[in-house]
Amino acid sequence: MYRWLWLVILWGDPLHAGSIHTPDLSTETTATVRTGDTLIFHLFTWNFAGNTARLNLPSFPADLTFALVTAPLDAVGEFAVTLESEDRSVTAAIGDLRFNPGFFTSSGYSGEVSTLQGHLHLAPLLSQSLFESGSIVIALENLGPDLELGLPPYRLGQNVFVSLSVGRLSVGALSGGVELEKPRNQMRSGDLASSAVLDEGADVPEPDSRVLFGEGGLILCALSALLRQFSRYSA
């Protein structure tokens, strides 16, 4: 009975502190990454082990080189970039990186771009912990202003280049999914300020009375049942 009551009460509260909203951006060509957001790239690395086995080299990379290419940016963006295992239990900081101007030539785009680049040397045990699943995560937390990232017509996952190397071998990781991680309860200072100066004549949306009535009815029913049960025990 007590468990059912708590489930009803929690169901009526759709926002829980610390909950994470991670929309899938795998098919998108651009993304708005706001201050504090984390852009997550999933990459497959199983092809690296296949190549090292043929050359009798260590199964896990000793170095990782990372680059993100986007259309030219007006602002100087800064991101905290980390390399993570696929389950995100093991992490290694690539560093706090800034975009720099560059030039990119391909079949779909040729011209000026902004590039975010970094390098990480990996100890053997750390490399094994990160790469043993055959896939990794590159996470970019935006430390600067809101930015629009992307290089149409390419999808976001195609704008990331990761090279894994050991000895004389260098292999590119394969693109996977892309997500944007943002706490639901995060509110930017600009949003807070704008909500505090609403025009007097502005229409303020009210909660749907049908939803409130339904949630209230369920909670009252639960409380009534709980009180009846308590009365029987008291008697």
What CATH fold (topology level) applies to the domain 25-183? Jelly Rolls (2.60.120)
The reported pTM is: 0.71
Task: Give the span between the Cα atoms of 17 and 185, in whole angstroms.
Answer: 7
| Mean pLDDT computed over every residue of the chain | 80
pLDDT in tens, 20-65: 668 899 999 999 999 999 999 999 999 999 899 999 999 999 999 9
Give mean pLDDT, residues 117-122.
Answer: 97
Q: Considering only CA atoms, which of 164, 166, 156, 97 is closest in space to residue 135?
A: 164
What pLDDT was estimated at residue 12?
42
Domain ranges of the chain: 25-183
Which amino acid belongs to residue 85? S
What's the confidence (pLDDT) of residue 193? 45
At 5, the pLDDT band (50, 70, 90 cuts) reads very low
Reply yes or no on whether the pLDDT at 233 is more than 60.
no
